[in-house]
Amino acid sequence: MIDEVCIETPLGIATISGDKNGITSVSVTKESKHTPSTEIPEHLQKAVSQLNEYFKGRRTDFDLTLNPSGTDFQKRVWNELLKIPFGKTVSYLDIAKRLGDPKTIRAAASANGKNPLWIIVPCHRVIGSDGSLTGYAGGLWRKKWLLNHENPVKQQSLF
């Protein structure tokens, strides 16, 4: 049975789903119908803890058992996303090349957009070849926030 919990994040309410076989999805919403969970099943506690650490700036990678649903190709793309280091970005073309065929750029971009594991599988670290912030299921403002959060060089305000 898949369990689900909701936690508050700086970007909205995150919903974490999974069972004893791993985390199946993490998504974010700003809808008020979701409220933070008061009870967290044991098999979701590690994910909740690690996401909270991430948002507090105390975690740069995740150590979780993942069990997303997807095609073999989507899973290959998501595995490539897991290799993008914290604070770094790559292009959709880079992902296609890593998969062995630059012609798969559109398919790789589509798989990236279907990533069910928000933040944990860092699809927000994929940008356009020209450096632009292109497409993000959670909204470009969230992508920008996440990339700024992960930027190792924090810009200080002068005023």
What residue has token string 């594991």? 117
**What span, in angstroms and rounded, lies between the C-alpha atoms of 79 and 28?**
21
**What span, in angstroms and rounded, lies between the C-alpha atoms of 151 and 19?**
32
Q: Are strands 3-9 and 12-19 parallel, antiparallel or unpaired?
A: antiparallel
Angle between helices 72-81 and 105-113 (to 10 degrees): 80
Tell me, yes or no, if 6 is annotated catalytic.
no
**Other CB atoms within 10 A of residue 114 CB:** 15
Residue 100 CA neighbour count, 13 Å, CB half: 2
69 alpha carbon, distance to own chain's centre: 15
Residue type, 16: I
Question: Catalytic one among 6, 23, 121, 123?
Answer: 123
Q: Which residues are catalytic?
A: 123
